[in-house]
Amino acid sequence: MPSNTITDLNRHFVASSLVVVPHGTDRIDEGRRRASLLLARSPQEEDLVLRGAHPDLIELSAPEGKERIGIAQVREVIHQAQFAPTQARQKVCLLPRAEQLTMEAANALLKVLEEPPRGLVFLFLAENPGDLLATIVSRSQVIRMVPTVDSDSVSSLTTAGYEETDAHYLMEIVENESELEPFITHLVDLPSARKEASQVAAEATGVELIALVVGDDPIVRRAAASHFLLRLTQGDRELAVTGAISAARAGRDTAVRLLANLISISFSALREAIERESAPRTDRLELSAIDPAVWGVTCRRIQRAQRGLDRYTFLEGVFLSLFLSVVRGE
């Protein structure tokens, strides 16, 4: 079992990477830690990166007293990119809160990503890919962090009446704090809600499943993504075709969110499959019973599809290639 699959994926950066972080993550610390993998070749250089003092690290954040990153700051990054790295082999432009980009700044940055300067790597951090331009997301390798436990949120959930295991489940499936809040203010019968969501997903057509995977209900969204991937891995070619057509017709923005949700459940299945080797489990629709190597390959396929969304106008072809490859197990 390739237990380093997640590590390998996290270490592999292209010209632009988007790290999707769980709510509550210290984004500056996390971003600098990841930047150090690209810049540091010694403990001394790593310390410089972690302190934000490395000469080849460019941190792009909203100015003090402001909430947005403007086009003037992006132009300054473009200017700095003209100069060769000082110590490392490349420069890293870190945006700990990429959603702070104004539309004007995001469009200017998009032009840079179309033809990235040699030796410059962009590292975006965001809680939700939907907060960024779809074209920026599609030009980036998307990496989802393994969720860490937010003790305050877990405490709020357990205080509201949830068992700790249910609190951790909710922390895993919500995309942001606004999705978590209703569960804190109103106790939900999770076993019943999950059973109902699973039944809805099991009875859904391919078109309906795609809509559920990008829906607003996190419990239904997770159940639909699980059913969709499970049916693909079981060889449902008809679902692959109808799902691809439906995803393409939904448009590029929906396609970006769809792939983000599919890779989230794939990483979750990969983690569970690894755990299952030492502690067998039978929940989560038996996703964890599938060979962990399958999920590692599936994650990479989805990431390739994410990068392909903006390179090809024929979205149906992107999704057909992805879904059929999962069906065939290639």
- Report the CATH number that the domain containing residue 83 is assigned in CATH: 3.40.50.300
Clarify whether residues 197 and 139 are in a common domain: no
One domain, residues 125 and 203: no
Residue 96 falls inside a structural domain: yes
Give the separation between CA 49 and CA 134, rounded to whole angstroms. Answer: 29
115 belongs to a structural domain: yes
Neighbours of 272 (CB within 10 A): 19
Residue 136: per-residue pLDDT: 87
Tally of domains within the chain: 2
Same domain, 139 and 193: no
| Region at 286 (left for phi over 0; alpha for psi -120 to 50; beta for the rest) | left
Residue 238 within a domain: yes
pLDDT the model gives residue 271: 67
Shared domain check, 322 and 208:
yes
Taking the C-alpha atoms of residue 60 and residue 123, their distance in angstroms, rounded to an integer, is 10
Q: Say what the pLDDT of residue 146 is.
A: 59
**How far is 163 from 166, CA to CA, in rounded Å?**
5
Residue environment code for 44-61, b if the CB has 16+ CB neighbours within 10 A, otherwise e: ebbebbbeeebebbbbbb
Same domain, 26 and 134: yes
Token pair, residue 296, equals 């590692």
Q: What confidence score (pLDDT) does residue 148 get? A: 56
Say if 173 falls within a structural domain: no
Note whether 93 and 224 are same-domain residues. no
Verify that 312 and 255 share a domain, yes or no: yes
Are 140 and 197 found together in one domain?
Answer: no
Burial of 216 (0-12, 13-18, 19+ CB in 10 A): exposed
Both 138 and 215 in a single domain? Answer: no
Is 23 part of a structural domain of the chain?
Answer: yes
Residue at a domain's end among 144, 169, 197: 144
Assigned domain for 162 exists: no
CB 133 within 8 A of CB 99: no
**Residue type for 94, please?**
L
Write out the residue range of the structural domain in which residue 90 sits.
5-144
The pLDDT averaged over each successive group of 10 residues in the chain (330 residues) is 36 66 83 89 91 94 88 89 87 93 91 81 87 83 67 86 89 83 93 94 91 92 91 90 90 82 78 57 55 74 74 78 82
By three-state DSSP, how is residue 170 classified? helix
Residue 176 lies in a domain: no
What is residue 162's predicted lDDT score, i.e. its pLDDT?
93
Looking at the DSSP assignment, which residues form a beta bridge with residue 125?
Answer: 19
Amino acid at 259: L
Tokens of 166: 């249910």
As a whole number of angstroms, the distance between CA 56 and CA 39 comes to 8
Chain centroid to Cα 198, Å, comes to: 23
Residues 88 and 217 in one domain: no
What local confidence, expressed as pLDDT, does residue 256 receive? 81
Provide the pLDDT for residue 281. Answer: 44
Give the domain CATH number at 293.
1.20.272
Q: Is 15 a member of any domain?
A: yes
pLDDT, position 84: 87
